[in-house]
Amino acid sequence: MNQKFTNPVALYPNTGNDFIKIHTVSAKVIIFTAKLSEINMSLTKQELERYKRHIVLPEIGAEGQTKLKQASVLMVGTGGLGSPIAMYLAASGVGHIGLIDFDVVDVSNLQRQIIHKTSHVGEAKTWSASEALKEINPHVKVSLFNCALNKENALDIIKQFDIVTDGTDNFATRYLVNDACVLSGKINVFGSIRQFEGQVSVFGTKDGPCYRCLFPEPPEAGSVPSCADAGVMGVLPGVIGTLQATEVIKLITGIGQALTGRLLNYDALAMSFNEIKFMKDPDCPCCGEHPTLTELIDYEIFCGDGKDVEQKDEISADELKQLIGEGGPLQLIDVREPEELLEGQIAGALNIPMQQVPDRKHEIARNMPVVVFCHLGMRSMHVIQYLKREGYKNLINLSGGIDAWDAIH
């Protein structure tokens, strides 16, 4: 007769200093006792009681719970995704949680940002979230950063934590978080949501890809509506945020297989998951073999903010060729990285890599037509948006970039 084994079902306090693990084997009950001295004493008796459903799991145990207690995790954003991440990590016993957000609680947040209360409308989100975490688990240390993450403070804040969770809703901050994590040697547990769909992945592990390996360039400014514009199903961030929290716990305790090199996609309407596998890009400017991005850049330029999209002027490769042939006043600005110039160039173009534009904009003419180009025309468009806000009115984007130019030569 085959015996049926089950996992441990309980961890009960015994008399004295013993704890009892109960396993069931068919109809028999086998009792194992372990002295508290055999359990990592960095966990207090109160913590042993609180986390006993974790400790009874062989994959986690007291050792894994101690790792959680000693770990620190930064939540970038305390909104829809940050809410379940923070709540579950606090409940799970992560010892130090950081919250960074510059926003205040709005009544429209309450449909999905479950860490906040109606009574906290108008209060700072970081404070509101910390109040909830205190109630969930008073053993957890919470650090608040009531500000926006930017290129001036990102490295200083992120270096204080072991793991970062990205719960942001804009591309500029996603690239900033990615780059700061790579430069700091920190893991980035990424999540994103829109309407009824969400994505989760893990970036920045040793020898693993980063966000730029999967998305080398941001989408055209204004092409992806925000949650405010497109809407989001209230429970969706709960699903995605909980998956992010799961990845964090696995990474800290060293169990399971992380979503490194895998993008998990969730469709709430179909109630389905699918997975896209991707590799580390050896030519990635951030984490590749010869990185060119060695400091944080101006992410407003890189990603754009959707302003002036309707006002941008473009020129085709054929039109540019004709314009050059006419011999009139004209400046060509190539905003690609220096190593990209090997793929092809336009004679006479001045190379100003995108991240150097703020410091070198004085080299860009204001008194003649200026054609800006890159590989495909996306980075150059973002540069033009930035320069227009700086007062430039003579800029033209090369549609299709150097690829389009090479196609006619």
* Cα–Cα distance for residue pair 71/205, rounded to 1 Å: 16
CATH topology of domain 71-303: Rossmann fold (3.40.50)
Q: Residue type for 205, please? A: T
Q: In sequence order, which residues have a C-beta less than 8 Å from that of residue 55 and are 6 or more positions away?
A: 11, 39, 48, 61, 62, 65
Q: What is the pLDDT of residues 313-327, one digit of tens each?
A: 889 999 999 889 888
Global pTM reads: 0.72
Q: What tens digit of pLDDT does each residue of 276-295 get? A: 999 999 999 999 999 988 99
Task: Report d(CA 132, CA 84) in Å as an integer.
Answer: 11
Catalytic positions, written as ranges: 227, 374
Give the residue among 407, 395, 339, 348 at the shortest CA–CA distance from 371.
395
**Confidence class for position 220, pLDDT limits 50, 70, 90:** low
Pairing of strands 262-267, 272-277: antiparallel
Task: Kindly list the distances between the CA atom of residue 139 and the CA atoms of 68, 70, 82, 146, 251, in Å, as whole numbers in the listed order.
Answer: 12, 12, 19, 22, 21
Q: What does the block give as tokens for 129?
A: 């979230």
Backbone angles phi, psi at 291, to 5 degrees: -65, 140
Task: Please state the separation of Cα 153 from the chain's center in Å.
Answer: 16
Residues 343-392: tens digit of each pLDDT = 889 999 999 999 899 999 999 999 899 999 998 888 898 899 889 888 89
Pairing relationship of beta strands 370-373 and 395-398 according to DSSP bridges: parallel
| 81, two tokens | 């995704």
Other beta carbons within 10 Å of 373: 30
Cβ neighbourhood burial of 257 (10 Å; 0-12, 13-18, 19+):
exposed
Enumerate the domain spans of the chain.
Answer: 10-49, 71-303, 309-407
| pLDDT, the chain, mean | 86
pLDDT, one tens digit per residue, over 100-141 is 999 999 999 999 999 999 999 999 999 999 999 999 999 999
What pLDDT does residue 408 have? Answer: 85
Question: Between residues 36 and 223, which one has the greater pLDDT?
Answer: 223
Q: Which of 303, 294, 283, 299 is nearest to 358 (CA)?
A: 299
Domain 309-407 has CATH 3.40.250.10: yes
